[in-house]
Amino acid sequence: MQTKLQGRARQIYRRDHQKTDGRQLCLYGYTPHQGEPGPEFEDEVSARSEMRFHPLRQEWTLFAPHRQARTFKPSKAANPLAPARPGAPITEIPFSEFELAVFGNRFPSLHPLAPQPSEASWLSRPATGQAEVIVFSPEDEGSLATLGQDRRILLIEAIIDRYRQHFDAGAAYVLPFENRGEAVGVTLHHPHGQIYAFPEVPGPQARAEAGFAGGYDLEADRMSWGGAFTVADAGGLTAHCPPWSRFPYEVWISTRSRAPGPWLFSAEEVEGLASLLGDVVARYDRLFGEPMPYMMSFHAAPAETCGRYQFSVQFYPLMRSAGRLKYLAGVEQSTGVFTVDVDPEAAAAALREAV
């Protein structure tokens, strides 16, 4: 089924395809997608995910033991995120051509049909929800820095559509994110990210929402810091290193006008976010002359929240200097107090110069 989406600056199309094993595949592009599907995976997708409550930390832990069997560093010939090719192993996208793809994870942490856990003395519940993979490009190499502006805009438009789809289906909170680099634990090098849709607002996000609901104004705070923490500006958004960063060279991208999520962005803001996503990653890669491993996530308002929430994209890079990783060691893991080896103002200055 083809759906015409109203993009901000350009027309976007989505083709929905039901995979043989029951998962949904959505193909996004600037032109309607054509072609018949080839062979597909047929194995049953496990729904055995469970949440258990930690009574001391007052938060939930997610258990998904079936993910131990997920694909681990395949060869390029066996890349499961590549387009389908005659005579090649089956891939997740059973079409020879596509622009951008989103599909249900074959090894999901969250599943809409997660079963009720066995009765136990601890508090537990099914890990219901959705876990999707978003494939940025048919090319098996590249990054947000090299995709090009048009593809980054398409990526943002696809993410906006996924927010709407999941909220309409009853999700309370949606988290698009990217893990990049083996130091982060990435097992598939094809440029991609993931989207988790939760039926309830996760603990840390609830605390962040409480801060905004209590009157915290991120943009007013950022303006008070002065320009020393700014990395770059584009389209009504600013990339900056917050003075309270927890990671060396941590960067946030936030809007200068309050917006709970990118679904309310103007065409200029979508283009600005697309530009800064590429700009930040390019600066990271130039900083130490090698690809920077990082975690990146979109932080938008939950489905039902006050309008005070302020959207941001947050990058957590894992290098503190050339050849040296930032590890979360004893203090961080035990107390939650991060120790950072680079002042954020020095990090911002270094990233400004990484052009």
Q: According to the model, what pLDDT value does residue 78 have?
A: 92
pTM assigned to the model:
0.97
Architecture of domain 205-353: 2-Layer Sandwich (3.30)
Q: According to the model, what pLDDT value does residue 69 have?
A: 86
Common-topology check for domains 2-45+73-113+128-200 and 205-353:
yes
Asked whether 151 and 136 are in contact (CB, 8 A), the reply is: yes
Closest C-alpha among 85, 104, 81 to residue 96: 85
Q: According to the model, what pLDDT value does residue 301 have?
A: 95
Using CA atoms, how far apart are residues 126 and 53, in angstroms rounded to an integer? 11
**DSSP annotation string for 94-155:** -SS--SEEEEE-SS-SS-TTPPPPPP-SS-EEE--SEEEEEE--SSSS--TTTS-HHHHHHH
Q: Which residues lie below 8 Å from residue 187, measured CB to CB, with a gap of 6+?
A: 70, 71, 72, 73
Closest C-alpha among 93, 287, 44 to residue 192: 93
Each domain of the chain, given as residue ranges in start order, spans 2-45+73-113+128-200, 205-353
Helix, strand, coil percentages for the chain (3-state, nearest 5):
25, 25, 50
Residues of the chain short of pLDDT 50, as ranges, are none
Q: According to the model, what pLDDT value does residue 219 have?
A: 95
Give the DSSP H/E element, type plus range, for residue 197. Answer: strand 192-198
29-85: pLDDT as tens digits = 999 999 999 999 999 899 999 999 999 989 999 999 999 988 888 988 899 999 999
Q: According to the model, what pLDDT value does residue 175 have?
A: 97
Q: According to the model, what pLDDT value does residue 205 have?
A: 87
Asked whether 225 and 243 are in contact (CB, 8 A), the reply is: yes
Supply the Cα-derived Rg of the chain in whole angstroms: 20
CATH number of 2-45+73-113+128-200: 3.30.428.10
Asked whether 225 and 317 are in contact (CB, 8 A), the reply is: no
262-307: pLDDT as tens digits = 999 999 999 999 999 999 999 999 999 999 999 999 999 999 877 7
Q: According to the model, what pLDDT value does residue 252 have?
A: 98
